[in-house]
């Protein structure tokens, strides 16, 4: 076991990992209707013009615009109705000079027409005659062929997180399947002699395993597929077997590794034994989360998160979530949701260390205030009672009451 102690700032540790990560984005062809939230892997070009025919944007009459020139309330243009073009049907009407045909919003224009007069700007004289009260320009109230999108235009770019409107855009062109990144499977191993399953009653000295489930939920939120592997004791062989299984079944391996020195050493030893190049960062300069392991084992990212559930969640967001996004092919990972708030109390910190502090948000008279939750940061209910967190940057000794802060909302 080669142990080296290499404590890095979280962003550096992450950058080192992502640089060394081989491109292991796997493609998945899914029905467009199921693609919500998936990430595209290809630029897609249109093979059709949309619309495929000139469409009216109003209810009214297909006209030859020249026939309406100079029309006004006092001197309307009298035009002959020769029929209508029903919705969803090809136009079988050909307009001659002085003729119009009924048109519907979204429907086709009559042949020979180049504009639509809104029904509000016409008056019915008898069943075959209307007065047009205003002139229309050529192309008015019409969507032209290809005005929405043309053959060869980009429908959707690579790296796009598919939104409802993208599904609409693809289907409008008949593109019913789309190539997206397979959701990375994140294997989760929870370790510790003190752990019992959540549905059992812990004896003295025991606690229920929750990391398997908080990490599963975080993986799901990030767009990955959680793959709970096992809850194992602090035993080298048991942990090695679980890690090997996780690496073979998953694309990413996450250990919640216990915070005690012996437990940390055990995880480091297991990782060192399982592939090259092994552990990249042994510890990150962050509170909470110092005892974090970041490794690449035979091309797959592996993390040893602290055993404390709160620390594990914070470190997940810093290093595992961005890794899942990278494997999803996100070129623009979603920014965390933040709100501006005014700090109600001082937050002390230490320069040279990035701190995350839990806050409760209180809205009074439309003003958002952030109230630090000063319970011990390693208690799960300190987080459960909070609505978000404030980051004290590496170079600041603290934040003051009254300061405006960005609160990252959970």
Contacting a copy of itself within 188-217 (CB under 8 A):
192-195, 198-211, 213-217
CA dihedral of 229, 230, 231, 233, whole degrees rounded to 10:
-120
Using rule CB under 8 A, residue 57 touches a copy of itself: yes
| Crossing angle of the two packed helices 261-272 and 236-249, in degrees rounded to 10 | 50
- For a copy of itself, the closer of residues 289 and 307 by Cβ is 307
Using rule CB under 8 A, residue 33 touches a copy of itself: yes
**Which residues, in sequence order, are CB contacts of 353 under 8 Å at separation 6+?**
285, 286, 287, 394
d(CA 224, CA 336): 17
> Segment 155-184, which members bind a copy of itself (CB under 8 A)?
155-156, 163-169, 171-174, 176
Least Cβ distance, residue 287 to a copy of itself (angstroms) = 13
- For a copy of itself, the closer of residues 247 and 270 by Cβ is 270
**Which residues, in sequence order, are CB contacts of 73 under 8 Å at separation 6+?**
133
According to DSSP, the β-strands at 293-297 and 300-305 are: antiparallel
- For a copy of itself, the closer of residues 155 and 296 by Cβ is 155
Least Cβ distance, residue 294 to a copy of itself (angstroms) = 20
Question: Pick from 1, 27, 86, 235: which binds a copy of itself (CB under 8 A)?
Answer: 86
Using rule CB under 8 A, residue 90 touches a copy of itself: yes
> Segment 306-365, which members bind a copy of itself (CB under 8 A)?
307-310, 313, 335, 337, 339
- For a copy of itself, the closer of residues 170 and 247 by Cβ is 170
> Segment 358-397, which members bind a copy of itself (CB under 8 A)?
375-376, 378-384
Using rule CB under 8 A, residue 137 touches a copy of itself: no
Asked if 278 and 297 touch (Cβ cutoff 8 Å), the reply is yes
Bridge partners of 290, per DSSP, are: none
Least Cβ distance, residue 106 to a copy of itself (angstroms) = 6
- For a copy of itself, the closer of residues 195 and 315 by Cβ is 195
Place of tokens 């399953």: 197
Least Cβ distance, residue 296 to a copy of itself (angstroms) = 25
> What letter does residue 32 receive in the DSSP assignment?
G
Place of tokens 């640089």: 19
What six digits make up the tokens of 151?
Answer: 């053959």
**Which residues, in sequence order, are CB contacts of 357 under 8 Å at separation 6+?**
347, 372, 373, 377, 389, 390, 391, 392
- For a copy of itself, the closer of residues 296 and 318 by Cβ is 318
> Segment 228-287, which members bind a copy of itself (CB under 8 A)?
233-234, 258-263
- For a copy of itself, the closer of residues 112 and 375 by Cβ is 375
Using rule CB under 8 A, residue 123 touches a copy of itself: no
Bond into 353 cis (ω within 30): no
Asked if 63 and 109 touch (Cβ cutoff 8 Å), the reply is no
Using rule CB under 8 A, residue 218 touches a copy of itself: yes
- For a copy of itself, the closer of residues 28 and 275 by Cβ is 28
> What letter does residue 271 receive in the DSSP assignment?
H
Asked if 181 and 239 touch (Cβ cutoff 8 Å), the reply is no
Least Cβ distance, residue 20 to a copy of itself (angstroms) = 27
212: exposed, middle or buried (C-beta count within 10 Å: 0-12, 13-18, 19+)? buried
Using rule CB under 8 A, residue 111 touches a copy of itself: no
Question: Pick from 10, 107, 223, 283: which binds a copy of itself (CB under 8 A)?
Answer: 107
């Amino acid at each position: 076991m080669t142990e080296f102690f290499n404590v890095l700032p979280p962003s550096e540790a992450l950058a080192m990992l992502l640089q060394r990560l081989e491109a292991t984005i796997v493609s998945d062809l899914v029905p467009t209707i199921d693609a919500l939230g998936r990430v595209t892997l290809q630029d897609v070009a249109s093979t059709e013009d949309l619309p495929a025919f000139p469409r009216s944007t109003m209810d009214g009459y297909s006209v030859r615009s020249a026939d309406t020139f100079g029309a006004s309330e006092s001197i309307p243009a009298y035009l002959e109705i020769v029929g209508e073009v029903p919705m969803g049907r090809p136009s079988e009407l050909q307009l001659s000079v002085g003729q119009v045909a009924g048109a519907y919003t979204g429907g086709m224009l009559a042949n020979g027409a180049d504009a639509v007069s809104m029904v509000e700007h016409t008056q019915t004289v008898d069943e075959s005659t209307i007065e047009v009260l205003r002139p229309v320009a050529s192309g008015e109230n019409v969507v032209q062929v290809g005005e929405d999108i043309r053959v060869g235009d980009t429908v959707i770019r690579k790296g796009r997180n598919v939104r409802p409107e993208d599904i609409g855009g693809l289907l409008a062109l008949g593109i019913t399947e789309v190539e997206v990144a397979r959701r990375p499977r994140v294997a989760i191993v929870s370790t510790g002699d003190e752990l019992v399953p959540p549905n059992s009653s812990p004896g003295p000295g025991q606690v229920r395993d929750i990391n398997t489930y908080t990490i599963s939920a975080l993986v799901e939120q990030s767009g990955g597929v959680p793959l709970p592997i096992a809850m194992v004791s602090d035993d080298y062989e048991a942990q090695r077997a679980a890690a090997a299984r996780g690496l073979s079944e998953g694309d990413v391996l996450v250990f919640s590794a216990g915070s005690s020195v012996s437990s940390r050493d055990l995880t480091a030893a297991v990782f060192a034994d399982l592939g090259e190049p092994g552990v990249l960062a042994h510890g990150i300069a962050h509170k909470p989360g110092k005892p974090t392991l970041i490794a690449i084992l035979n091309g797959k990212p592996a993390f040893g998160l602290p055993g404390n559930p709160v620390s594990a969640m914070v470190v997940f967001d810093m290093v595992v979530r961005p890794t899942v996004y990278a494997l999803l092919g996100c070129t623009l990972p979603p920014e965390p949701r933040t709100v501006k708030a005014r700090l109600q109390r001082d937050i002390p910190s230490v320069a040279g260390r990035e701190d995350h502090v839990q806050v409760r948000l209180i809205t009074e008279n439309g003003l958002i205030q952030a109230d630090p939750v000063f319970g011990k940061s390693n208690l799960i209910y300190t987080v459960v009672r909070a609505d978000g967190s404030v980051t004290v940057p590496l170079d600041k000794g603290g934040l003051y009451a009254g300061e405006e802060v960005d609160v990252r909302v959970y």
